[in-house]
A = this chain, B = another copy of it.
């Protein structure tokens, strides 16, 4: 099997790449995503390129091959199912499960993974709203706009949070701003770069545009179903 390190490079490359996966991801970006120095990433990337898991253009960057993408999706699937399991079955807080899953994703067997998936009744999204790849390697690629793009007076519901910082996640939970929850945009101040939100079942709260950009939402009137792609 593949080492933890290999799985991590592939996973982070997948998470860094653009939707189509056609564009090269710069080495520096991959290195900092994985948490290693650029030199280390260069070495590993050469190995992965030789194994046919990614294409490497020196001084250009890297891109997953179909084989690499498949493996990356499998790692992401494990990560997100584990997170869901930790929250729904073991009752951990959603702010703590990301780090736990970082380790578990590399040792959980497929047998255990599929048991968990079954117990959870094949969830489509994890507690952060991130889509869970299927066992066959497909993933929901539906795009959502960030809260930061919406104007005052709009009603939206939270779909996904692109930030794993435990303190921020605890903040969101406290203010009823988790995926699935509705929120009205009460005000937006371009000068202060802040938005004031009124969560359906919480008190008004003001957050910066930077953090708002990490919260993906959809118009609350909209009920469009989502589509999957291979």
Taking Cβ atoms with an 8 Å cutoff, the residues of A that contact B are 86, 89-92, 96, 100, 103-104, 106-109, 111-112, 115-116, 119
> Can you offer 22 A-B residue contacts whose CB atoms are under 8 A?
A86-B112, A89-B89, A89-B119, A90-B112, A90-B115, A90-B116, A90-B119, A91-B115, A92-B111, A92-B112, A92-B115, A96-B111, A100-B109, A100-B111, A100-B112, A103-B107, A103-B109, A104-B104, A104-B107, A104-B108, A106-B107, A107-B107
Q: Which residues of B contact A115 (CB under 8 A)?
A: 90-92
Q: Which residues of B contact A106 (CB under 8 A)?
A: 107
Q: A90-B119, A100-B112 are in contact. List 16 more A-B contacts (CB 8 A).
A: A89-B89, A89-B119, A90-B116, A91-B115, A92-B111, A92-B115, A96-B111, A100-B109, A100-B111, A103-B107, A103-B109, A104-B104, A104-B107, A104-B108, A106-B107, A107-B107
Give chain B nearest CB distance to A154 CB in angstroms: 39
Which B residue sits closest to A106, measured CB to CB? B107
In the complex the two chains form, what is the Cα distance from A90 to B118 in whole Å? Answer: 9
Give chain B nearest CB distance to A98 CB in angstroms: 12
Q: Which residues of B contact A96 (CB under 8 A)?
A: 111
Q: Which residues of B contact A119 (CB under 8 A)?
A: 89-90
Give chain B nearest CB distance to A97 CB in angstroms: 9
In the complex the two chains form, what is the Cα distance from A96 to B107 in whole Å? Answer: 15
Give chain B nearest CB distance to A222 CB in angstroms: 37
Give chain B nearest CB distance to A86 CB in angstroms: 7
Q: Which residues of B contact A90 (CB under 8 A)?
A: 112, 115-116, 119
In the complex the two chains form, what is the Cα distance from A86 to B96 in whole Å? Answer: 22
In the complex the two chains form, what is the Cα distance from A60 to B112 in whole Å? Answer: 42
In the complex the two chains form, what is the Cα distance from A16 to B178 in whole Å? Answer: 50
Give chain B nearest CB distance to A104 CB in angstroms: 6
In the complex the two chains form, what is the Cα distance from A180 to B109 in whole Å? Answer: 29
Q: Which residues of B contact A107 (CB under 8 A)?
A: 103-104, 106-107
In the complex the two chains form, what is the Cα distance from A213 to B112 in whole Å? Answer: 31
Give chain B nearest CB distance to A149 CB in angstroms: 37
Give chain B nearest CB distance to A116 CB in angstroms: 7
